[in-house]
Structure 1
């Protein structure tokens, strides 16, 4: 997310912390637990994207959609979406394994500041 934000020179993407108290007020139509389980994105017309569809749209907005486009091709989409669900379910453990840093502290998970 940090790299995506750095590349978003035109500020087309707004990243939202699901743990902020105003999340439920600002996004009553998005279930917090579902959004914690899989990346969610909302388009200007109100359409909600999930998982790799969200990632592809975000990277496309910063001019890097070609990196994620193959993941949306019909034959690869099924495999990629399955891998994404597996990764999303275990992302904090994977992050700990890869970086040696835990992303969860008590009941709160997310980036360490």
Structure 2
């Protein structure tokens, strides 16, 4: 996320922390527990997108969509989405296995 934010020179993206106290007030249509389970994104027109569709849209917005485009190809998409859901469900354990520590819920993009 920090790398993506750094690439967003034209400030096309808005990052939100689902753990902020007023998040539910500002985004009553988003279930925080579900947003913690799977990545949520909202387009400028209000349409919601999820998972790797958010990832691809975000990287496309900063001119790097070519890096994630293959993940949205019809046959690859099915496998990529299954892999994403596995990763999302197990991200803390995977992080601990790789780095020795689980990611915190309050990590900041500003750090």
TM range (shorter): over 0.9
1:85 paired residue number: 85
1:21 paired residue number: 21
1:111 paired residue number: 107
1:102 CA drift (Å): 2.3
Taking only aligned residues, the RMSD between alpha carbons, in angstroms, comes to: 1.2
Residues matched between the structures, number: 109
1:110 CA drift (Å): 4.3
Distance in 2 between residues matched to 1:110 and 1:64, nearest whole Å: 27
Q: Which has the higher contact order (CA 8 A, sep 6+)?
A: 2
Q: Deviations over 1:28-64 (max 9, x none)?
A: 0111111100100001110000000000000001111
Q: Deviations over 1:56-97 (max 9, x none)?
A: 000001111001000000000000000000000011111111
1:35 paired residue number: 35
Distance in 1 between residues matched to 2:71 and 2:6, nearest whole Å: 23
1:2 CA drift (Å): 0.5
TM-score, normalised with respect to structure 2: 0.93
List runs of 5+ in structure 1 lacking aligned partners: none
Q: Secondary structure at the match of 1:16?
A: coil
TM-score, normalised with respect to structure 1: 0.91
1:2 aligns with 2:25: no
List runs of 5+ in structure 2 lacking aligned partners: none
